[in-house]
Structure 1
C-alpha cells in the first residue's frame, strides 16, 4: 500500500508544509527552557490549536510537537522514560486534527537531533543514536503519524543513524539538514555532499532538503545547490520567516507575510516540491504562502540575483559548493525587502 506522502507527491506539483512550532508555542505561554513536548499531555488543546494553525491556513502536511522528543533531550527535564508516551500522544493529537480537516492532511512525526556529539568528537555512538531514534519513531508510529520527519540535522552520522532507525520502525521518512554556517551545516556538510549521502543510504528518505538556517535567501541558495546535482528525489524547503532580531525582550523574525509568499514561489521555482516555513513562520505567513503558490504561475529557475533582490542578500559570500560549480555569488549590500 502506497504511503500517503508518496501518493500526494505523485498527484501534486507541490505540497505545502507547516510553519513554526516554537514561535507559536511561546506566543501561547511556553516559557524559555521548558520542554514543549510536555504540553502534549499537560496542554493538549494548545497543541491541537498549533496543528490547526497549519491546517486552517493551507498546509497539506504538519509536523508533530516532538522535535526534542528523544531520550537525550528529554533527560534534561527528567522525562527520558516518557519518550514513547510523549511521542505517541503528540501523533494522536495530530491524527485527530488531520482527520477532521475534510481533506487529505499528512501528519509528519518530527524528529530533531539528539543534542549529543557523535564519536569520535563526542560520546554518542552509532548504536545508541539508532536506539534513541528508533524509540521515538515507534512512539510516533503508535500514535498514527503518516511519515517520520527528521529535521535540523548537522552531522551526517546522525542522519545515517536515523535512516537505520526508521527502517527498523518500518516507517517512510523525510529528512532535512540545517545549512547555517556559510552555506554548510555546522559539521561542514554542503548541499552537494548531502545529495551524495542521501542517494547512498540503504534506506533513503522519500524527500530531503533544508530547514531553518540563517534566512530565506540562504536556504534557497542551498535548494539551488541540491537541484544542481540533478537529483530526482523531491526537495524540501522550510526557511525561517526572515532574520531573527531581539525586540523588547523577545526574538522577532522580520519576514512579512508578503515576503514569505514570495519565498514560497521562489522555492517552488528553485525546484522544491515540499515548501513550508520554520522559525518565525506564523499562521498569517502560511496563508500568504498558500495564496502565492496557488495564484502565481510557475516561472523559470531563479538566479541568485533574483533571490537576493527579492528576499535580501546572503549571509556569506559562498555556500561551500563553489569548486563544484554550484551557486556562490553574494549580494550582501542589498537591503532586505519586507
Structure 2
C-alpha cells in the first residue's frame, strides 16, 4: 500500500471526493467557452479557493483543474504547447492547499477525454492518444499530484490508451466512465463491460466507477451493475446534483443538499467507497454528504425501487445489461430523508 488512496481506504473504509469544478468556476466568473485550465496561470487564487472549498466542506480528496488539459483540447485555445505547464500548475496549487490542511487530503490529477473519436470510428490513433495522456500525466506528476483521476470517458479504446499513458508516467490512477445513454456510455459500454475492461488492463486503476451521466438514480443503478458483475476493486460514485434545467439563461441543477446526502448514503450501501458529486455539486452539497455518511450507519444494498423513491425515477427502463429489471419512467416527488 504505497499510494495514499489505498492507505486511506484501508484506514477509513470510504472517502468523500469533491464536487463540480465547472459549476464552481462559472460561479467565480469563468466565461462560457473559456479554458478553465488557463486560470491555473492567470487566476491562481481562484483555483486555490476552488480546492479549499472542497477541503473545508469535508472532502478527503479533490480533483485538479485540468479536465481539459490535453493537447487536443488546449489547441482550441492556442495553448497546446502549454500542456505540461498548465497541468503542473494545477497540481502544484492543489499540493499547496492539501499540505496546508489540518488532515490528510489527496490531490487527484484530473484527466478528461481527448475530445476526439478514436479509430476505427474516428481519426485518433492509439499511439497518439497514449502520447497525449502521457504528456498530461507527466505535468500533473511534476506538480505533485498523489494519483491521477480519469473521468467522463465513453470509449473503451480511450480508457485503454489513458491506462497506458499513465503507466509510462509511473502513476497510480482511478478511472470513471459516464453512463448517460440508457445505462450505457455514449460508445455503448455497459457497467458489466467496464468490469471486464478494467480486469484486462496491464496497468489497472486503484479504483473505478461512474461519474456524471443523467442523474443520481441512474448512476447508482450503474454502481449496482458493477457489483452484480463481480467487481473486486473499490468503486467510485460521482453523480450529478440532480437534473439540469435551463433557467434565467443559465443551467441549474435541481438536486438539493438533502437529496445528495441521501445519494451519498445509498452509494455507500450500494458498494461505492469513493463517493462525491459531479455537475452542480457545491460545497454545500458536500457538507451535507459528509454529515450523512458520518452520522448514518451502513445499511443493506438498496433496491432499484428504493433508489427511485428516494432520488427520483430512472431516465431509462434498463441499464443496458441482460436481465435488467424495468423501472417506470416517471419522476415523482421524492421521499424526505429521516
Tell me the TM-score normalised to structure 2 length: 0.98
Moved over 3 A (4+): none
Q: Deviations over 1:281-315 (max 9, x none)?
A: 00100000000000001000000000000000000
Instruction: Tell me whether 1:91 sits opposite 2:91 in the alignment.
Output: yes
Q: Measure the CA separation in 1 of the matches of 2:37 and 2:72.
A: 13
Q: Measure the CA separation in 2 of the matches of 1:184 and 1:236.
A: 16
- What residue number does 1:57 align with? 57
Q: CA deviation at 1:336?
A: 4.4
Q: Deviations over 1:215-271 (max 9, x none)?
A: 000000000000111222000000000000001000000000000000000000000
Q: Measure the CA separation in 2 of the matches of 1:146 and 1:192.
A: 29
Q: How does 1:1-338 map to 2 (within 5 A)?
A: 2-321=2-321, 323=322, 325=323, 327-337=324-334
Please state whether the residue corresponding to 2:276 is helix, strand or coil. Answer: strand
Q: Measure the CA separation in 2 of the matches of 1:128 and 1:308.
A: 42
Please state whether the residue corresponding to 1:161 is helix, strand or coil. Answer: helix
Q: Measure the CA separation in 1 of the matches of 2:289 and 2:331.
A: 23
Q: CA deviation at 1:334?
A: 4.0
Please state whether the residue corresponding to 2:209 is helix, strand or coil. Answer: strand
Please state whether the residue corresponding to 1:51 is helix, strand or coil. Answer: helix
Tell me the TM-score normalised to structure 1 length: 0.98
Size of the aligned set, in residue pairs, is 335
The runs of 5 or more residues in structure 1 that have no matched partner are none
Q: Deviations over 1:14-40 (max 9, x none)?
A: 100000000000000000000000000
Please state whether the residue corresponding to 1:208 is helix, strand or coil. Answer: strand
